[in-house]
Amino acid sequence: MYPELKGKTAIVTGAGRSAGLGAAMARRLAAEGARLVLADLGTGPERTGMPDELAALAAELEAGGADAVAVACDMLVPAQVQALVDAAIARFGQVDILVNNAGVGDIMKPIVELSVQEWDTVLGVNLRGVFLATQAVARHMIARGGSGRIVNIASQAAKSAFPHAAAYTASKHGLVGLTRVAALELGPHGINVNAICPNHVTTGLGAWQNEHFSQLAGQSVDEYLADMRRRIPLGRPGLQEDTANACAFLCSDQSRYMTGESMNVSGGEEYH
């Protein structure tokens, strides 16, 4: 659909879950002919070991004809984030697209029970990590003459509040603010910065959230999902490919006059 993406280099963070949003977006961009740099938290005490699922995704994309490389990266460590960008430049010459997808969404507790460490973990990965990656990639894009796309994966929680999700909701609301500021500052350099706000998607993390929130509501998972379907005008939760399709659009020339936006991909459940 988007031939202009052929040969573009895209970094996708948080791509290490085979059924996750990051992997889905990487596959979608690869299908358009983009070259992929896949990142996720490394293994081992130094977080530098290669995660199995991340390596498997790179191998899958390569087997399908794409050019892809996997890089272990802790998004909280500035040196590792810079090394990720440097690795992309060393392999492909430049970075054209950054998809900030890495995040923490499995720390769900009432405010009165949430520890400072847990708060810092969520805000660190979901917001500081995006800042570090955006800064490193934007510096590169500006130095090479400008132009590029930055897509931040926010959430319905960037627009609405949910119980037990104080840190997550705060981080995603903050991500919308960061997106807007980055759009203002980077627009003169031809860099578009937008966010996607999906509603619930049953990834591996989403399955955990189904269990958590159904128990909170005193329901079975099936009852919880049935209620979810009833409140979504299009009648179903989101799918990985819904977010992946929105990402490809925002990376394409079809969205060249969009920046600073936070696009709902929610089947009509979220509309502001």
Instruction: Please say whether the beta carbons of 14 and 40 come within 8 A.
Output: yes
The yes-or-no answer on residue 168 being catalytic is yes
The torsion angles phi and psi of 106, rounded to 5 degrees, stand at -120, 20
Q: Could you give the CA distance from residue 125 to residue 220 in angstroms, rounded to a whole number? A: 31
Q: Could you give the CA distance from residue 258 to residue 180 in angstroms, rounded to a whole number? A: 11
2, 168, 257, 271: which is the annotated catalytic residue? 168
- The angle formed by the CA atoms of residues 46, 89 and 126, to the nearest 5 degrees, is 50
The torsion angles phi and psi of 100, rounded to 5 degrees, stand at -85, 95
Instruction: Please say whether the beta carbons of 200 and 156 come within 8 A.
Output: yes
Site of tokens 């052929």: 6
List the catalytic residues: 168
